[in-house]
């Protein structure tokens, strides 16, 4: 069974989500300062036997990659160097932050608990859910 990690990469914060053991639901579990991401991910991969990572692909409405893609590609190269057997897939992350913000604003959370870290964590869930819907649940029927 695959252990899958979803990532919403941001310049300041990066959101992380994992898939449940039945491969139906993503759970956002952490938002981390991006400068600490590489070390955290490498430890997390080993500890939790992660064999696949799903990273958002930032494409705008003109079907062009956003500037942050440069940093994401560098991150992917570094992760693959350290973990050559890991599978890394990309999935379009258009509007994930807007959808996450919508969910947060329509929740019962107090305003002081609504922040960028939470947006990235929920965005990672949305990215991972998109992957589950497109590539996993499709074949479970």
- Mean pLDDT for the stretch of residues 10-17: 96
What is the rounded distance in angstroms from the CA atom of residue 42 to the CA atom of residue 86?
Answer: 11
Using alpha carbons, select from 34, 29, 8 the residue that is nearest to residue 19: 29
Evaluate whether 83 touches 42 at the Cβ level (below 8 Å): yes
What is the rounded distance in angstroms from the CA atom of residue 21 to the CA atom of residue 38?
Answer: 25
Give the list of residues 6+ apart from residue 128 with CB closer than 8 angstroms, or none.
4, 6, 17, 18, 19, 26, 54
Residue 138 pLDDT > 70: no
Q: Is the pTM of this model over 0.85?
A: yes
Of 3.40.50.2000, 3.30.70.890, 3.40.50.2300, 3.30.420.140, which CATH number belongs to 4-140? 3.30.420.140
Q: Where are the domains of the chain?
A: 4-140
**Better pLDDT: 73 or 106:** 73
pLDDT tens-digit profile of 111-135?
Answer: 666 667 888 898 999 999 999 988 7
């Amino acid at each position: 069974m695959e252990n899958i990690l979803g990532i919403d990469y941001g310049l300041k914060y990066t959101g992380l989500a994992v898939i449940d053991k039945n491969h139906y639901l993503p759970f956002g579990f952490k938002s981390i300062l991006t400068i600490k991401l590489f070390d955290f991910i490498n430890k997390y991969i080993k500890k939790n036997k992660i064999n696949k990572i799903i990273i958002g692909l930032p494409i705008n409405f003109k079907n062009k990659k956003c500037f942050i893609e440069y940093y994401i590609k560098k991150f992917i190269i570094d992760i693959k160097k350290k973990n050559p057997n890991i599978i890394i897939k990309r999935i379009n992350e258009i509007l994930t932050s807007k959808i996450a913000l919508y969910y947060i604003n329509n929740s019962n959370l107090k305003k002081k608990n609504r922040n960028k870290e939470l947006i990235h964590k929920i965005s990672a869930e949305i990215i991972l859910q998109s992957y589950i819907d497109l590539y996993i649940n499709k074949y479970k029927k």
